[in-house]
Amino acid sequence: MQVVEPCILTRELIDYVKRLGYDNAWLEIKGDFPKEEAKKYNDVYFRVTLIPRTVKEFNILIKRNNYEGFTIFIKPISFDIFKLSLKNKHVSVLSFDKTNSSLLLKKSVYSLLKQNPKPIEISLKYWSHLLIARAAEIGYKLGIPILFSSCAS
């Protein structure tokens, strides 16, 4: 079993992640990041978290398609964006925190995840034990990987 930290917000933490025993990590890229520098990180994957507010914005962000080599995380704000994210092949992981956690409580979300399973990332900042338990229940019942993330910065 590998231990992965799904979200590191600064490059300086990569060495600490290794010392803490994590096998891999995803580095959240914000702004320009030199590709030459990216090559020196062997066990680090690069991610981008998109937070579209509307369906139109979702389509624009996905069609940009300049995310080559990145894992695309989507933080669905609405149920419509959640449905689009499940069906879109470019979206790898659905990300949830306190701002969109109410989506996880809907029964329709459960049935859609059953039909179109995708990994779920749970940001541990500001989460209650009930929502963490609900996410773990969804992951266990549906066999979906749940990534608990500290989003360290």
Residues 6+ apart with CB under 8 A from 48: 28, 29, 67, 70, 71, 72, 73
How many other C-beta atoms are found inside a 10 Å radius of the C-beta of residue 53? 10
Instruction: Enter the pTM of the model.
Output: 0.82
Q: Residues 13-33: pLDDT tens digits?
A: 777 777 777 777 777 766 555
Quote the pLDDT of residue 1: 39
d(CA 46, CA 93): 13
Quote the pLDDT of residue 150: 75
Structural domains in the chain, CATH included, are: 4-149 (3.20.20.140)
Candidate from 34-38, 39-43, 141-145 with smallest mean pLDDT? 34-38
| Residue 78 near residue 109 (C-beta atoms within 8 A) | no
Quote the pLDDT of residue 99: 85
What does the pLDDT average to over 133-144? 86
Question: How far is residue 23 CA from its own chain's centroid?
Answer: 18
pLDDT at 42 over 70: no
Q: Residues 49-94: pLDDT tens digits?
A: 899 999 999 999 988 767 777 888 999 999 999 999 999 999 999 9
What does the pLDDT average to over 141-153? 78
